[in-house]
A and B are shown apart, each in its own frame.
Chain A
Amino acid sequence: MTAATMQRNRPSGFRISKKVLPYVLSLPALLVCIGILIPFFTSVVYSFQRYRLSQPWARQFNWGDNYISFFTDPRFWNTLEISLLYAGITVLLELLLGLGIAMLLQKRSTLNNFISIMLLMPLMTAPALAALMWKLMTNPGFGVLSYLASLIGLQDFRWASSPSTALFTVVLVDIWVYTPFIMILLLAGLRSLPTQPFEAAALDGVPRSFVFFRITLPMLTPYILTATLFRLLDSIQQFDIIYAMTQGGPGDTLTVFQVEAYLNFFQSTNVGRSAALMIILWAITYFLSNIFIKNWLRLRERARGQA
């Protein structure tokens, strides 16, 4: 090759240095990051302020007052209790149900695959719309579920409009929407398990329960953990279903964190309290998400190893 051709290949014109290039490419993502962090820190600041939209003149730092008042505030304890209860119940039930369904569908067959695809439909339904669907079905006047309840002797079962059954109703909707999520994750997990241990156990005539608790469950643990943490993170922040169904009511029966913060902000215009609630919720999710991300990264590494 002559010097001339080498010359022609020389870089010319505008060129982004390779040191700078990755920064340029990720700049937009970085900006979005900053766009998240600014309101986040603003929330932190608000949470340390006495700040009501209705009384902007009285806005001032009251430092920990918003947080300290929580200790003596039964409304806050109610929020904390109902949030944890909601998250705990939904995730536990969805996990059991999801695992059960995944095991029913474990064998690859046309019917099983068809059912597992059908079960995706609730998951792909917007939770707010799902709540609306259930609201129509539980309408005391004409709702089909109210009618069915009356058939089994539950006259005047008032579903979401009664404080005693409101939690049950929203949990039901949550289960309807999100069980398929756990199901498809665990189904993928189950189907990726090596078959040898199971064949060996079957040959040796090991009892089913033993196989389930000693082989299936341990091998499935990473998937169960990922699915559970994923759901826990979502469920403790549930807003769509509860707000669309009852707006936190009746009374303060279902004022979980985000619903309570929303009501505080838009109804009581108490920005400070609302922000403090969100910071507490954030702290909980941050703690959970750190465990989750670690576990998830490990599983992800493993998945790419297989691929």
Chain B
Amino acid sequence: MEHTSLLERILRGIALTLVVVFFMFPIVWILMMSFQTNETILRIPPQLVFKPTLANYTALITGKLTTAAGTLDIAFMRNLWNSVFLSVTSVAVALLLGVPAAYAFARHKFRGSEDIAFTLLSFRFAPALLVLLPLTLYFQKLGLANTYIGLIWVYQLICLPLILWIVRGYFEDIPADIEYAYRIAGHSWFATFRKIALPLAGPGIAAAGLLAFIFAWNNFIFALVLASADKQPVTVGALAFITSSGIQYGQISAAIVLSITPTLALALYAQRYLVEGLSLGAVKG
């Protein structure tokens, strides 16, 4: 083994470097572009050294882009706000609906409980448009088209199964005896749920919530189908940028950076729960 060690270490080093470069390069490059003026961006060959500018971010944040041709309104902050609002509210609603249900599924095996859980799970894997296309027609009839309520309701398709299945696992990991002991001590089921089950499943609930937030934030198709400009989150809004005239590549890059920062930050913060969450608890990280 020893004699292959040096060669092997060099090869491993090269392989790892290639991996890191491939996966990190786009993020680094877009980050760099976001600090460049259109002029530097368009220069060939691409510049590695340049004088950074915050103009792109200022334009996005103030919502005003001043060019030679005049002033242009950018609705990006609106998109960002929509993303925050839709994701936070959807996760909050999903937690409100999903945590009690997860508790019921974990603790009281009742007739049909597995069926409901599996229906939700199997639709997590079903094509989104299958449900979305009829929903657009229904939503138009119900007046839910292009409303936050309608979107939040549809976002439950992503958030609820995730929360239900992850949190359920955490509830199942609490020994039933601990809850029995609290009941026998004279407390109602609700007190037991609040004082025993919720605190003990707390980390799992937080992880599921974070993950649901990331998925909601990253979602594209729901809002593309159901929301028009003023309700669109960043994923759809940023795409509209590239086709709208007058917007510069630096601003698109800055918009992308602003749009992916929240999920990346959350992911890094909660990374030790990610494996478990992404595999719905099938793989303990």
Contact = CB atoms under 8 A, between A and B. Distances in A.
A22 B263 contact: no
Contacts of B44: 142, 147
Interface in B37-77: 41-46
B133 A299 contact: no
Nearest to B16: A104
B101 A26 contact: yes
B249 interface: yes
Interface in A4-57: 9, 18, 21-23, 25-26, 28-30, 32-33, 35-40, 42-43, 46
Contacts of B27: 121-122, 125, 133
B283 A136 contact: no
A258 interface: yes
Contacts of B153: 35
A129 B169 contact: no
A22 B125 contact: no
Contact of A289 (B97, B122, B221, B282): B122
A32 B160 contact: yes
A139 to B, nearest CB: 8
A20 to B, nearest CB: 10
Given A40-B131, A293-B121, A300 B275 contact: no
Contacts of A300: 169, 280-282
Given A126-B235, A282-B130, A303 B284 contact: yes
B126 interface: yes
B157 interface: yes
Contact of A28 (B16, B97, B125, B218): B97
A169 to B, nearest CB: 13
Given A25-B103, A118-B23, A233 B12 contact: no
Interface in A223-239: 223, 226-227, 230, 233, 237, 239
B119 A230 contact: no
B104 A144 contact: no
Interface string B227-265: 000000011101100100000010011001001100110
Contact of A29 (B120, B138, B274): B120
Contacts of B100: 25-26, 28
Main secondary structure of the interface of A (DSSP, over half): helix
Nearest to A139: B249
A54 to B, nearest CB: 14
Contacts of B176: none
Interface of B: 1, 12, 15-16, 19-20, 22-24, 26-27, 29-30, 33, 41-46, 96-98, 100-101, 103-105, 107-108, 110, 113, 116, 118-123, 125-135, 137-138, 153, 156-157, 160, 164, 169, 172-173, 186, 189, 214, 217-221, 224-225, 234-236, 238-239, 242, 249, 252-253, 256, 259-260, 263-264, 266-268, 271, 274-275, 278-285
15 contacts: A21-B104, A22-B110, A28-B98, A39-B138, A125-B27, A126-B218, A129-B234, A134-B26, A142-B41, A147-B44, A147-B45, A176-B26, A226-B279, A258-B221, A289-B122
The 9 closest A-B pairs by CB, nearest first: A126-B218, A22-B108, A29-B101, A25-B104, A28-B97, A128-B220, A42-B134, A124-B267, A39-B134
